[in-house]
Chains A and B, each alone.
Chain A
Amino acid sequence: MAMNPMEQFEVRPIVPLHIGPYDVSFTNQSLFMCIVVAAVTLFLTFAMSGRRLVPSRTQSMAELSYEFVAGMIRSTAGDKGLVFFPFVFAIFMFVLFSNFLGLIPGAFTVTSQIIVTFALTALVMLTVVVVGFAKHGFKFLMLFVPKAPWYLLPLLVPIEVISFLTRLVSLSVRLFANMLAGHTMLAVFASFVVALGAAGGILSALSITPMFMIIFIVTLELLVAFLQAYVFSVLTCIYLNEALHLHEHH
């Protein structure tokens, strides 16, 4: 048995499909994205179907996620930021469910693909730019002009522009790298169990130790899965806040 810890990240076509020169196959990646969206929708509609004043357990989970995101937006972008609640909530739930569903053995982790996290980040940054221009017009460009003597501006403005573009990379890579590293680590430890078990004799008995490690790593990964979804949406809120209130945060 070949034990390649990176094999789990391979994108395989399920329904091959080509439009012109483009490969638009329905892959395991697309399948799991659909599953994630379906899971979020099912969870929220099912949990809220009772609409009880005193919530049931599932209903309170749905309400908790709602209040959590709402509180996050209020504390970072103020009450005005609540306009973006649907946007931030959608991103949070998508990333959270992708991370959690990816932890099920055999499942594919959507957020372990850099193109997915990059597309999400690009969506966030495009929203920031569009909202900024819609709200402030060309004054939005003042975001790139720090308070400094005029003769330093030719140097500082390009730095600020690069620093703005950096978010595209740092936001997407953070989520992607965390997921990739965690799942690779799990696969590596799992392969230790198999290898030690197959070695025979006293080594077989030792195969229980990496198994214990896996239990701890899985709990750690559960924390990371939630934390990364949280970090991603908090940073989304912070960037939206900057577009809404220029320079007020300094």
Chain B
Amino acid sequence: MPPPQPDDLRRLGERIDEAEQQRSQSVKAAPPTPLGIAFRFGGEMVAAVAVGAGLGWSVDWAFDHWSPFHTRPWGMVVLFVLGATAGIRNVMRAAQELNAGMAEKDVEK
């Protein structure tokens, strides 16, 4: 067997680089399943509404207990609507991220 040539080593290095690049791409491209996307959107929306309503309820409760004023039910009304708005904003953001990710993948193809 002849001793390894510098050329052989270089070629091996190139092959390793190539393989590494391919692997890093396959790791990055974990495409979301349709079910995953649906859960993501649903979850974002529900979570935001729940947080808004919860915050509103706590604000009303705090005012009832620790202040002479009563805000019930206005804290909950206002924060519930704000929560729903935040939910829509979150879903829009999630959709933008997904679109950007898919556009990137299309470019790579």
Contact = CB atoms under 8 A, between A and B. Distances in A.
Q: Do A and B come from one complex?
A: yes
Given A173-B43, A174-B39, A166 B51 contact: yes
B85 interface: yes
B82 A169 contact: no
A170 interface: yes
Contact of B82 (A75, A159, A174, A227): A159
B43 A159 contact: no
Nearest to B83: A162
A177 B40 CA distance: 12
Interface string A156-176: 001110110110111001100
Contacts of A159: 82, 85-86, 89
A166 B90 contact: yes
Given A162-B52, A162-B55, A230-B30, A170 B47 contact: yes
B51 A169 contact: yes
A173 B40 CA distance: 11
A86 interface: no
Nearest to A230: B30
A177 B39 CA distance: 10
Greatest chain B CB density within 10 A among A160, A165, A166, A169 is at: A166
A220 to B, nearest CB: 11
Nearest to B52: A162
A68 interface: yes
A230 B27 CA distance: 11
A55 interface: no
Interface residues of B, number: 23
A170 B28 contact: no
A170 B39 CA distance: 10
Nearest to B94: A170
A169 B55 contact: no
Contacts of A158: 79, 82
Contacts of B40: 174
A162 B30 CA distance: 29
A162 B24 CA distance: 36
Contacts of B51: 162, 165-166, 168-169
Interface in B61-109: 79, 82-83, 85-87, 89-90
A177 B36 CA distance: 12
Contacts of A170: 43-44, 47-48, 90
Given A158-B82, A170-B47, A165 B55 contact: yes
B64 to A, nearest CB: 21
Interface in A154-212: 158-160, 162-163, 165-166, 168-170, 173-174, 177
Interface of A: 68, 71, 75, 158-160, 162-163, 165-166, 168-170, 173-174, 177, 227, 230
19 contacts: A75-B28, A158-B79, A159-B86, A159-B89, A160-B86, A162-B48, A162-B52, A162-B82, A163-B86, A163-B90, A166-B90, A169-B47, A169-B50, A169-B51, A170-B44, A173-B47, A174-B40, A227-B36, A230-B30
